[in-house]
Structure 1
Amino acid sequence: MSHAVRAAEPAESAGVARAALTLDAGEAADLVARLSRPPAERRWTALATDGGVVMASMSGKDPQVGHLDLLAVHPEAQGEGRGRALVRAAEEWLREQGARQARFAGNPPCYAWPGIDVRYTAAACLAESLGYERYHVAWNMTADLLGADLSVDGDLARLEKSGVVVRAAGADRDRVAAFVEEHWNERWAWEAVQATGLHYAERDGRILGFAAWGARPAWFGPMGTAPDARGLGLGRVLLRRCLAEQRAAGQAGAQIGWVGPLRFYSRAVGARAERVFWLYRRDLA
């Protein structure tokens, strides 16, 4: 069965995503909106069939790699080849943009997920049936905000004795973003600017570390401490400050995305490894 593919309308994409992405239904519309407002240098498209939508993008960082950022088919329209048609259409658009490889993998800094959540089994099966190879695994941790100890008063008093002050970024957000870009990269800096909440630590006017939340809807991250400031306990304080804000905003839990140091988050807030993502790629002929 053939399915006509056309440009997708935002409301249509959000509706299909909300129905299909059962693990992320509450933020599906926000994800579509986020992917529709990427950094200025990014090229992207949204394509649809009746009952299905795909979003794809190209990043200026690697002009030969394209990303399939979101694929959703309404439950009532599944099993009829719409997902396959949408992936093929997205691949054709990526070829036109100069891509030599397509990936089911997050395109930082503006992405939906690191890859395909293993619980979206049909999507993983589709990717593999189309010749995509699994090349990496990523995971998220979940912090229970209702039960976690997020207190920082003792830590703040200890830090103040050594001249370190922890603040919430306001008008100085661009200054924090400049620190993030200097020590990490422009993708994290973009997320720092876009984040709902941004906290940082400084001493004598010099920023030492930062943490953000809400750059990806409802998620925590990114965060980092300058190399010469590690060992002061800044990460734990900045993490807890952000999670406390998320709790105050009405969240019962927070996703810590694309995690590296499992032990740190487990010890700092009792976070547990939960969501696992498979990253796929395929060379485009």
Structure 2
Amino acid sequence: MNPVGGSWEIREASAAELATLGEVAGAALTLDPGDGPALVSRLATPPPRRRWTALTTPGLDGVVFASMSGRDAAVGHIDLLAVHPGARGRGCGRALVGAAEEWLRAEGATEARLAGNPPCYAWPGVDVRYTPAVCLAEGLGYERYHAAWNMTVDLDAADLSTEADLARLAGQGVTVQAAGPPVERATVAAFVRDHWKDTWAWEAEQATGCHYAARGGEILAFAAWGARPAWFGPMGTAPAARGLGAGRVLLRRCLAEMRAAGLASAQISWVGPLRFYSRAVGARTERVFWLYRRGLR
């Protein structure tokens, strides 16, 4: 029986309970229809060295995922909080966050962040449209310290043609192709690791789809989708190859693959270059995320 006051028992979720908690997340995340089970599954299979936990109640009324940063040993992340609609209004979310903070303290964190912990994350931060989550964060004393945003692409309306660009690139000796696992995917990941960071390399390896451009056996650029379920990213072009136009081709190939997989729209995550995505595929800025933090004493 669920408590009526505010006294919730919180414990670690078992592996066998994660499927049910995915359904709980699905019921809670009304702005992300169908994503709950995939997000729980993704967060439960992070990079091998990540320290993480999933906490719930005996009645599986809600779930919170927490993890330690791989970049800063003093920072911990609350990656996902979801409370079943039938359990709201009775302090379950507050209790789950409190238990996650206690776990982070025990792991050595002196700061908790309601912000994505790349490369395995649910969102960059708190989607501002989830108003109760914003109110909870601010009511618990979390400070808003940054903002991030996604862009949305209407896959049915977007121009995803690549024929002319592929012909132009071929004239410059550049080929574009899918990176099949495991050998090609590992080669692309090594390229990404050399030019950017380990987090992007992990995403490239884990992605549902990954494409790359090469010339003379040398990889020049890459793009991936599905490392975070149903979202596009990351992508990048080596400095020496910028200006060739390979990025637009890779972006369009990934989005076409997403459309073929049955998706009607795509989220381009944690966007930097708004102008590029707007011009290349008609993407529009839509989802805004607030990133929060507070000290753990």
TM-score range, shorter chain: over 0.9
CA distance in structure 1 between the partners assigned to 2:19 and 2:232 by the alignment: 27
Shift of 1:12: 3.0
Kindly report structure 1 stretches of 4+ aligned residues shifted beyond 6 Å.
none
Matched AA of 1:206: E
1:70 to 74, 80, 103: 80
CA distance in structure 2 between the partners assigned to 1:148 and 1:69 by the alignment: 32
Matched AA of 1:188: W
Q: Secondary structure at the match of 2:34?
A: helix
Matched, 1:200 2:212: yes
Percent identity among equivalent residues? 72
Counterpart position of 1:85: 95
Matched AA of 2:265: G
Deviates more, 1:18-27 or 1:125-134: 18-27
Q: Secondary structure at the match of 2:35?
A: helix
Shift of 1:134: 0.2
**1:17, 1:25 within 8 Å by CA — same for their partners in 2?**
no
1:19 to 27, 37, 40: 27
**1:19, 1:74 within 8 Å by CA — same for their partners in 2?**
yes
CA distance in structure 2 between the partners assigned to 1:216 and 1:48 by the alignment: 23
CA distance in structure 1 between the partners assigned to 2:51 and 2:290 by the alignment: 24
Task: Give unpaired runs (5+ residues) of structure 1.
Answer: none
Matched AA of 2:99: A
Q: Secondary structure at the match of 2:97?
A: helix
Matched, 1:138 2:143: no
Shift of 1:60: 2.8
2:290 to 268, 278, 282: 278
1:186 to 189, 198, 208: 198
1:195-236 C-alpha deviation (Å, 9 max, x unpaired): 011100011111100000111111000000001110111111
CA distance in structure 1 between the partners assigned to 2:170 and 2:39 by the alignment: 39
Counterpart position of 2:107: 97
Counterpart position of 1:222: 234
1:153 to 127, 141, 163: 163
Shift of 1:59: 2.7
CA distance in structure 1 between the partners assigned to 2:21 and 2:291 by the alignment: 23
1:121-171 C-alpha deviation (Å, 9 max, x unpaired): 000100101010000000000001001110010000011111011111113
1:242 to 240, 245, 254: 254
2:66 to 45, 50, 56: 56
CA distance in structure 2 between the partners assigned to 1:15 and 1:165 by the alignment: 42
- Equivalence map 1:124-135=2 (5 Å): 124-135=134-145
CA distance in structure 2 between the partners assigned to 1:93 and 1:176 by the alignment: 36
Shift of 1:63: 1.1
Matched AA of 1:243: L
Matched AA of 2:72: D
1:166 to 165, 173, 176: 176
Shift of 1:47: 0.7
Counterpart position of 1:33: 41
Matched, 1:264 2:269: no
1:22-47 C-alpha deviation (Å, 9 max, x unpaired): 01131110100000000011011111
Q: RMSD across aligned C-alpha pairs, in angstroms?
A: 0.8
Counterpart position of 2:189: 177
Shift of 1:57: 0.5
**1:150, 1:244 within 8 Å by CA — same for their partners in 2?**
yes
Shift of 1:7: 1.6
CA distance in structure 1 between the partners assigned to 2:276 and 2:179 by the alignment: 24
1:255 to 250, 267, 277: 267
Matched AA of 1:139: W
The TM-score normalised by the length of structure 1 is 0.99
